[in-house]
Each structure stands twice: as structure tokens, then as C-alpha cells.
């Protein structure tokens, strides 16, 4: 059972739609907390994606992120720095699409009943590592960026922040489980 199902056990379409909408609002808000970096900004998107996956599970987590991306594709300013459609053609496109996979990978742990901080942290670290595959593949293949440039500019400056975000997501979700157990 996932944390979202434990908190709201109803499987009604209305409850699930509310969770999806709430997740996209969380992602849109986290996207606006941004540290300008080149070639991609550092945001709280990864923290939100991990938390959503760990809370909702693989299917609902990935669906939430996909809905957020659909909102961006329709022109809503829900991406970093108020971005939308154009971001799908820029340097962050691989990371944006990778967020769907990231939520699913983090959500697998939730679906399997992982509730502890260490287990969720490991899931977050794995999901974070998986994000770099499409995130780096896009600029390598579509933009012709060399591997050395990808590692030095697109990955290494972000690794420590991604580790911290995985730890924070694990703390938030495991704390939710602890709170729920004491209720």
C-alpha cells in the first residue's frame, strides 16, 4: 500500500483526480524554486518527482508527472522559470521526459511496501541515477554534446544536490508513514 492510499483509501475517480491535480500543482511550484545554472537550472523538481513517486506509487506517480508535462506542452508555465512548450526542444528535454521514469522507479519501492527511511533513500538514489540516462542522452544525441562536456556541465554539478533531494524525499515520505502510524 502506498502512502497516498493509506491516507485516502478511497479509489474513487474524484479522489484520484484530486491527487493528480495536487501533484501537478506541487511540481509546478517546485519548478519555480530555481537556481540559475548553465546549461540547465537547478530546481526542486527532482525533490517533488521523488516525493510524488514514493507517495503515490509507480503508476500514479508517473501519471502525475506525465500530466504535468502535458500541461507544459499545452503552454502552461509550469516548468522551471515559467517555462512550457519550448523546453521540450531545449537542453532540458531529456530530463523532463526522464522525470516520468524517475517517478515510476521511485514508485516501485512504494508499491512494494517500502516505508523506511533507508529503503526510500536507496530508491531515491537509484531513481536519481536513472534520470541521468535520458537527461544526458538528449544533449548527446540531439545536440551533439561530447561526453566530457555532459559529465562536467550536465551531471557533476548536480549530483550532490540530487543526493540531498533523495535524502529529503525519503525523510518526508518516511515521516509521513511515521505520522500516520501515530494517528
CATH of the domain at 178: 1.10.1760.20
Residue 183 has pLDDT above 90, yes or no: no
Rounded Cα gap, residues 28 and 136, in angstroms: 23
Give me 140's grid cell: 548527446
Q: State pLDDT tens for residues 52-85.
A: 999 999 999 999 999 999 999 999 999 999 999 9
Q: List the domain range (segments joined by +) for residue 108.
A: 3-182
Q: Is 135 exposed, middle or buried (0-12, 13-18, 19+ CB in 10 A)?
A: buried
Give me 57's grid cell: 506509487
Q: State pLDDT tens for residues 84-114.
A: 999 999 988 999 999 999 999 999 999 999 9
Q: State pLDDT tens for residues 4-50.
A: 999 988 878 998 999 999 999 999 999 999 888 777 788 999 999 99
pLDDT at 18: 93
Rounded Cα gap, residues 159 and 102, in angstroms: 15
What is the tally of structural domains in the chain?
1
pLDDT at 91: 87
Rg of the chain (C-alpha set): 16
Amino acid at each position: 500500500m502506498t502512502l497516498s492510499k493509506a491516507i485516502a483509501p478511497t479509489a474513487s475517480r474524484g479522489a484520484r483526480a484530486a491527487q493528480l491535480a495536487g501533484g501537478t500543482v506541487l511540481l509546478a511550484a517546485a519548478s519555480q524554486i530555481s537556481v540559475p545554472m548553465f546549461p540547465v537550472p537547478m530546481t526542486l523538481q527532482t525533490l517533488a518527482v521523488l516525493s510524488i513517486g514514493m507517495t503515490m506509487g509507480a503508476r500514479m506517480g508517473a501519471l502525475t508527472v506525465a500530466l504535468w508535462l502535458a500541461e507544459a506542452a499545452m503552454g502552461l508555465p509550469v516548468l522551471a522559470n515559467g517555462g512550457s512548450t519550448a523546453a521540450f526542444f531545449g537542453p532540458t528535454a531529456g530530463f523532463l521526459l526522464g522525470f516520468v521514469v524517475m517517478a515510476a522507479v521511485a514508485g516501485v519501492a512504494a508499491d512494494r511496501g517500502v516505508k523506511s527511511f533507508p529503503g526510500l533513500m536507496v530508491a531515491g538514489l537509484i531513481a536519481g541515477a536513472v534520470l541521468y540516462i535520458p537527461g544526458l542522452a538528449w544533449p548527446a544525441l540531439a545536440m551533439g554534446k561530447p561526453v566530457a562536456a555532459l559529465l562536467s556541465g550536465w551531471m557533476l554539478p548536480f549530483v550532490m544536490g540530487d543526493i540531498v533531494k533523495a535524502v529529503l524525499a525519503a525523510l518526508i515520505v518516511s515521516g509521513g508513514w511515521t505520522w500516520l502510524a501515530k494517528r
